[in-house]
Amino acid sequence: MQNISKKRNYKLTRNTARIRTGSVWPNYLVACIFFVSIGFACTYYYVDGGKSINFLLKIDELQQYNVKQEKELLELKLELQMSQISYEKISKGLKEAKEENTNLKESILFYEKVVGKRK
C-alpha cells in the first residue's frame, strides 16, 4: 500500500514545471473578433436593421425643407412689408390729391358764386 500512496503523492506534487509551447494570443484574437461580430449583429437587430438611419435621414431632409420654408417666409414677409410701405405712400398721395381736389372744387364754387355760372 505504501507504493500506491507514494505514486499518488508523486503525481500531486510533481517537481517539474509544465511548459506550453505555442502562443495563445491568436486564439484570444479569434474569440474577440467573434464576440465583437456578435455584438454588432445584436445591435443591428435591435436598431431595426438600418431603419434608424432612415429615420435620421428623414429628420435631416425635413430640417432642410424647414430651412427652405423659412427662407421663403422671410422673402414673403419682406415683399409684404414693401407692398405695405408702397400702399401707405399711395394712400398718402391719394389723400393729398383728394384734399387738393376738394380745395380746388371749393375755389371753383367760390369763383362761380362771385362771377356767376357760365353756360
Q: Where are the chain's structural domains?
A: 23-115
Phi, psi at residue 20, to the nearest 5°?
A: -95, 130
Prediction pTM value:
0.45
- 55 or 62: which leads in pLDDT: 62
**Residue 50, CA distances (Å) to 36, 43, 64, 104 in order:** 18, 10, 21, 80
Residue 116 has pLDDT above 80, yes or no: no
Give the residue with greater pLDDT, 61 vs 27.
61
Mean pLDDT of 9-13: 55
Asked which of 3-12, 16-25, 32-41, 101-110 is least confident by mean pLDDT, the reply is 3-12
